[in-house]
Amino acid sequence: MKKNAKIGLLVAAMTFGGSTLFAQVSVGINISARIAPPALPVYTQPACPGEGYLWTPGYWAYNDAGGYYWVPGVWVRPPRVGVLWTPAYWGFVDGIYSFHSGYWGPHIGFYGGINYGYGYSGSGFYGGRWEGGSYRYNTAVTNVNTTVIHNTYVNKTVINNNVVNNRTSFNGPGGVNVQPRAEELRAMHEEHIQPTTSQLNHEQTAGRNRSQFANVNHGMPANAAMERVGTHQDANHGAKPGQMNMNGNNGRQANINNHMRNNRMANMDRPPQQRFTNMNRPHASRPHNEQPHPIPHGDPHRSEHVRRG
């Protein structure tokens, strides 16, 4: 693996199949691998610990020592009022899986079409919205105790399908083949804020825990999600075999179907020679031929803004 610090680097890519030109802003440290990340684990989202916390979905990170390891989903405080979290994603181009760090910004940007659940259905975000200086939670897709947190609303129209079988964790051939939408392209040029110190510490802590590594947990980390950074995780939020449930209030995302175990290692079904090989300098990760994605296209939050960024 090689790490390449790229601050404010603009990577332009042309996809001739759709004659679409798009540019992608990559900020922070880009990491690449020659093997695919495992499938996304199924887990239950912990309840929001208090007002002002935003959900950041879990993701697979990578290091030289042991390969892919799971960084638990967690509720965090944003760096300032009015910003939203665009999740990290892996993109597959020219035989290389490149990691694109998550970031904060005024709108949700492109995150590879990856369905992280709990409001992150592959494009945009439907788990909450800012209204003035307060953040409101959509309890249709997020786990919020309304007896404690009162800034809530219910928007069930964003739930396209209660059960989602596709837990693919990377963008590109063999994964999720989608390109950035126009709103996401515009958001790429907005001001972005890198992950907070708390978020970086959270990832580093996961990387020091051997049980978080895919070669130990076989794609099912015991610590898949947590309430806050630094807290000990309840076993109820560990990864489970099954399907994703997009309805945040009926069993949450971890409605378990024990007959779906074959999906557990969907992305690990790679040729043996591709497993844990040496890392190379990353190529620019570019989404590929666009395919229809079963997600809501309207912004349920505001008419004057599209939440991409």
pLDDT at 202 over 80: yes
pLDDT tens digits for range 204-238: 999 999 999 999 999 999 999 999 998 765 545 66
Of residues 132 and 1, which shows the higher confidence score?
Answer: 132
pLDDT at 86 over 80: yes
Coil, helix or strand at residue 272? helix
Q: 27 falls in which pLDDT band (50, 70, 90)? A: very low
Q: Number of helices and strands (H, E) in the chain?
A: 3, 17
Which pLDDT score is estimated for 279? 37
Domain ranges of the chain: 3-274
Q: What's phi and psi for 280, nearest 5 deg?
A: -125, 165
Place of tokens 């788990």: 127
The reported pTM is 0.71
Coil, helix or strand at residue 155? coil
Pair 222, 211: CB distance under 8 Å: yes
Which pLDDT score is estimated for 300? 37
DSSP 8-state code for residue 100: E
pLDDT tens digits for range 175-184: 999 999 999 9
